[in-house]
Amino acid sequence: MYATQRRRVVSEAAMQSLVAAILRFHYTYPDAAIVCGELEFDDEQHDTITNPTVIVEVLSDSTEKYDRGRKADHYRQIASLKELVLIAQDHPHIERFTRRPDGGWLFHEEKNLTASFELPSLRISVTLSELYRNVRFESTTESESNG
């Protein structure tokens, strides 16, 4: 687990994100979450944080519909959440949803490996090439001929 005074990155194994405002006792498991400030827990076991600042989901064929739909809806109800990031694993594509001051959400996406995407709540910028550094993608023609 990476930690600084300002940020903590919590992996799926160490975290459950509680969204009690939507469904009582409904827990969801993000692929990663970042908390700015002190961790706030749902219970005395300290395995369920309730105050993520950023949540990251890596999309797969088997989870994409749920990750984009109900799960993302649950996440957006968390008062502390400022950004939700969806990352495609089979092609370069990052989607970021940023909470606006009025409570609405602003959508931004990047598909070019030379582009970078920002996480304003963390004051960082990451290039897609760095994020996908060790990922090999099938070519479009290859995947179309196999499909």
Residue 84 CB: number of other CB atoms within 10 A?
Answer: 24
pLDDT at 16: 46
Structural domains for the chain: 7-135 (3.90.1570.10)
Of 58, 45, 78, the residue nearest 11 (C-alpha): 58
CB 92 within 8 A of CB 63: no
d(CA 98, CA 80): 12
The runs of H, that is alpha helices, within 47-108 are 64-68, 70-75
CB 65 within 8 A of CB 88: no
pLDDT at 28: 77
What's the burial of 121, exposed, middle or buried (CB within 10 Å: 0-12/13-18/19+)?
middle
Q: Mean pLDDT in each 10-residue stretch from start to end of the chain (147 residues)? A: 49 43 59 92 78 94 92 92 96 96 96 94 95 85 44
pLDDT at 7: 56
For the chain, the average pLDDT equals 81
H or E stretch covering 129: helix 128-131
pLDDT at 106: 97
